[in-house]
Amino acid sequence: MQALVSSLFTPWPFPPVFSFFRKDKPEDLMAFLKEGQPEFASGPSYTLANAASKSAEEGIEVQEAGGGLVPEFEDAAVLYANGKVGEAAALLNRYLLDHPDNRDPLPWFMLFDLYEASNQPESFEDAAVDFAVKFEHSPPTWAPRGQLKTAAQPVPLMGFGEKFGNLERVKLQRFMQEAREAPFVRFEVSRCPAPDEEVAKAMLDCLAQLDQMRKPIELIGGGGFAVRMGAAHQGGRVGEAGWLLWLTILRLLGKEADFEETAVGYAVTFELSPPSYVPPLALPGRGGEAPGEAQAGGSERFFSLSGIIGPGCNIPLSELARFAEGRKQVDIDLSQVTRIDFAAVGLLLETLISLAQGERKIQFIEGNEMVNTLLKIVGSGQFAEIHGRTRV
């Protein structure tokens, strides 16, 4: 993992790492993380209070995760991070049915935490009965903390990268169809260089249609893309469609001053009236919570995060960085975090790497197993200790 991190990151500030993975293609993340890296090490997967001392006598196999997690567990964690709660639950249940002799309690606790976070008490109780029968041990009790107010709905995402061919055009058509029924959409340009006129027109047409639908847009990687557009302008490589796309990106970022300055340049260059600045539409709730509606708070002992840690979580993570100043140990309480969104993984990992500098000890505490599994997958265990929630 150290070699992987070294190859991905330049000296701070670090660029986003995982933002370029498609949220509807979790296998891309799995393949990337497994390619050419040593197997990560983390603590026991079983997090029931005092379980380590009782496991042998109760017939529960506490499996060490040093050899890597079972692929189904990883896939379920990524599905959940994508907001696909039902698919994640189905995958875990299928694994338990297909492996009746497996004594690892991790998939059970992933299910219990998923059911609590998504407010499914009946499914929780059914799983608790099966757990008690299998392990001959009292199951955990229903003790929800942070909850998704409704089952999270997958959000259509269209990502633009280094190329735009027939496959991307097909994906764009499907994206526009899905967008009509969605409360909002995601538009990702993390890996997109300053486009030529043909691609700029396609991107601009997509954004114009979304605007006509009055569809809020969650822009991912927009800041870097705007910088690349500015550099292309300096090099004389931006046509009229590129200018209009640049203005649209600045508008979606809410950068009115930059928009107005660029609009003047457009008017001078083309002798045409530029578009007017219109504030971007507010993003609605996602899974009962607005994107980026993570909240944070500190105390003398630990720093608490809550809600969904999404792409708009810059403020809580900035508060975390300030909380860590002058401390040799930082305990991050995840007990009220329902989910870490896939699109926020890179930002969270960058923050974690920065905090871990200077021999500072970092601990994640009381996180649910769906969240903790995702943290382990992306290598957070190399920079912080990850402790599961205490159950009674």
**Integer CA distances (angstroms), 184 to 159, 217, 380, in order:** 15, 6, 30
Looking at mean pLDDT, say which of 46-50, 141-145, 204-208 comes out highest.
204-208
Euclidean distance between CA atoms 222 and 219, whole angstroms? 6
Q: In terms of C-beta distances under 8 Å and separation of at least 24 residues, what long-range contacts does 318-322 make, across chains too?
A: 320/296, 320/351, 320/355, 321/351, 321/354, 321/355
Q: What pTM, to 2 d.p., does this model score?
A: 0.52
Q: What is the dihedral of CA 335, 337, 338, 344, to 10 degrees?
A: -150
Amino acid identity for residue 281 in this structure: L
Band the pLDDT of 370: cuts 50, 70, 90: very high
Helices and strands, number each (H, E), in the chain: 15, 8
Quick one: pLDDT at residue 304?
85
**92, pLDDT greater than 90:** yes
The contacts of residue 100 (CB under 8 Å, 6+ apart) are none
Ranges of CATH 3.30.750.24 domains, the chain = 1-151+288-392
Tokens representing residue 26 in the block: 């979790």
**CB-neighbour burial class of residue 18 (10 A; exposed 0-12, middle 13-18, buried 19+):** buried
Quick one: pLDDT at residue 226?
93
Q: Name the residue with higher pLDDT: 29 or 279.
A: 279
Q: What is the DSSP letter of 37?
A: -
By DSSP bridging, strand 295-298 and strand 303-309 are antiparallel
Quick one: pLDDT at residue 213?
92
Q: Name the residue with higher pLDDT: 130 or 359.
A: 130
Give the max Cα distance, the chain: 82
**260, pLDDT greater than 80:** yes
Q: How remote is the C-alpha of 112 from its chain's centroid?
A: 21
Euclidean distance between CA atoms 48 and 64, whole angstroms? 15
Band the pLDDT of 102: cuts 50, 70, 90: confident
Average pLDDT over residues 88-97: 94
Quick one: pLDDT at residue 354?
85
Half-sphere exposure of 214 (CA within 13 A, CB side): 1
Quick one: pLDDT at residue 252?
93
Buried b (16+ CB within 10 A) or exposed e, 103-118: ebbbbbbbbbbbbbbb
Mean pLDDT for all residues in the chain: 77
Band the pLDDT of 69: cuts 50, 70, 90: confident
Quick one: pLDDT at residue 261?
95
User: 220 by DSSP, 3-state: which?
Assistant: strand
Please state which of the four CATH numbers 3.40.718.10, 3.30.750.24, 3.30.428.10, 3.10.110.10 is assigned to the domain occupying 1-151+288-392: 3.30.750.24
β partners of residue 303: 298, 332
The contacts of residue 168 (CB under 8 Å, 6+ apart) are 160, 161
Average pLDDT over residues 208-224: 91
**336, pLDDT greater than 70:** yes
Q: Name the phi and psi angles at 100, rounded to 5.
A: -65, -25
**Integer CA distances (angstroms), 28 to 42, 69, 322, in order:** 23, 17, 34
Band the pLDDT of 255: cuts 50, 70, 90: very high
Quick one: pLDDT at residue 281?
87
Q: Name the phi and psi angles at 94, rounded to 5.
A: -65, -40
Quick one: pLDDT at residue 308?
84
Q: What is the DSSP letter of 250?
A: H
Band the pLDDT of 63: cuts 50, 70, 90: very low
By DSSP bridging, strand 303-309 and strand 185-188 are unpaired
Quick one: pLDDT at residue 352?
86
